[in-house]
């Protein structure tokens, strides 16, 4: 039995039994953790108003038998500042990406600052950059992908290759390693992938990234995510729907 004080971003809220809520929280010190908010669906509960997705809350966690219990919550910040359905679709995408990729209580120190940055930065003008690069950075931090300026097959530097390619699993490969099913990928894009692995998302936004390259990043981040997890994100269809609406 122990109590800890922490804070975190609420990634997902589900109904539990009685009037409980099951909360998936991303914390700076314990990674992703699933906790129960006892009776928080009761309007009289102090926890009732702050247990919403995309809120950052301070809280106390109690570790006893079974699922940890969250109490003494206080709202620090809401990332969904307005009832903006577009913003909601971007935040849901970020939250679902973290939820699927991270194991329970797997702690990697760079992940919370990355999530905090992405949640705070994403908007209608930059989501085509933030969402794919967030996924790629998260995959990098979790050790699923290696340095992206080298061929993922023969490990030679891609700058020595005249062209870069994507294999069927969306891994970046060199000219020598390509086959008939490989698709060409601009070398300029390879530089940006590597830059993104080493720098903050805010630094990436300072670069003037050509609109022609953007679809490649969406394709590579989705492709790698699906190859690694063997599933699609539900929030992707939500996102596509709003993107089509413009």
Q: Using CB under 5 A, which of 9, 129, 136, 151 touches Zn ion?
A: 151
Point out which span in 61-69, 154-162, 198-206, 210-218 binds Zn ion (CB under 5 A): 154-162
Can you give the length of the chain in residues? 246
> CA 75, 76, 82 angle in degrees (round to 5)?
80
Nearest CA to 88 out of 211, 238, 193 is that of 238
Q: Which is closer to Zn ion, CB of 176 or CB of 237? A: 176
Q: Which is closer to Zn ion, CB of 56 or CB of 177? A: 177
Tell me whether strands 21-27 and 2-15 are parallel, antiparallel or unpaired. Answer: antiparallel
> In this structure, what are the phi and psi dihedrals at residue 89, rounded to the nearest 5 degrees?
-70, -35
Q: Which is closer to Zn ion, CB of 34 or CB of 153? A: 153
Q: What is the closest distance, in whole angstroms, from the C-beta atom of residue 185 to Zn ion in the complex? A: 13
Q: Which is closer to Zn ion, CB of 41 or CB of 191? A: 191
Alpha helices in 48-126 (DSSP H): 85-101, 111-121
Burial class (CB in 10 A: 0-12, 13-18, 19+), 179: exposed
Across the beta sheet with 172-174, the strand order is 172-174, 164-166, 183-185
SS3 203: helix
Q: What is the closest distance, in whole angstroms, from the C-beta atom of residue 163 to Zn ion in the complex? A: 11
Q: What is the closest distance, in whole angstroms, from the C-beta atom of residue 174 to Zn ion in the complex? A: 4
Q: What is the closest distance, in whole angstroms, from the C-beta atom of residue 210 to Zn ion in the complex? A: 25
Q: Which is closer to Zn ion, CB of 108 or CB of 157? A: 157
Binders of Zn ion among 158-217, rule CB under 5 A?
174, 177
Joined tokens for residue 123: 């908007």
Q: Using CB under 5 A, which of 153, 182, 214, 227 touches Zn ion?
A: 153
Residue 122 engages Zn ion in binding (rule: CB under 5 A): no
Residues forming contacts to Zn ion in the complex (CB under 5 A) are 151, 153-154, 174, 177
């Amino acid at each position: 039995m122990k109590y800890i004080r922490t804070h975190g971003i609420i990634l997902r809220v589900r109904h539990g039994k009685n009037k409980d809520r099951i909360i998936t929280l991303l914390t700076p010190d314990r990674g992703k953790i699933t906790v129960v908010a006892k009776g928080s669906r009761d309007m009289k509960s102090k926890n009732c108003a702050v247990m919403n997705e995309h809120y950052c809350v301070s809280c106390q966690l109690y570790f006893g038998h079974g699922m940890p219990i969250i109490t003494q919550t206080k709202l620090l910040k809401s990332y969904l500042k307005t009832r903006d359905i577009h913003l909601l679709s971007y935040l849901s995408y970020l939250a679902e990406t973290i939820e699927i990729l991270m194991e329970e209580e797997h702690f990697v120190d760079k992940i919370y600052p990355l999530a905090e940055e992405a949640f705070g930065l994403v908007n209608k003008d930059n989501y085509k950059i933030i969402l794919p690069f967030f996924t790629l950075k998260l995959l990098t931090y979790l050790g699923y992908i290696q340095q992206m300026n080298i061929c993922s097959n023969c490990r030679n530097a891609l700058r020595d290759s005249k062209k870069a390619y994507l294999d069927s699993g969306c891994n970046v490969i060199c000219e020598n390693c390509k086959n008939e099913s490989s698709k060409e990928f601009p070398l300029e894009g390879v530089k940006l992938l590597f830059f993104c692995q080493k720098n903050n998302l805010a630094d990436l936004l300072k670069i003037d990234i050509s609109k022609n390259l953007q679809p490649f990043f969406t394709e590579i981040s989705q492709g790698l995510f699906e190859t690694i997890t063997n599933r699609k994100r539900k929030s992707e269809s939500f996102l596509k729907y709003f993107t089509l609406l413009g």
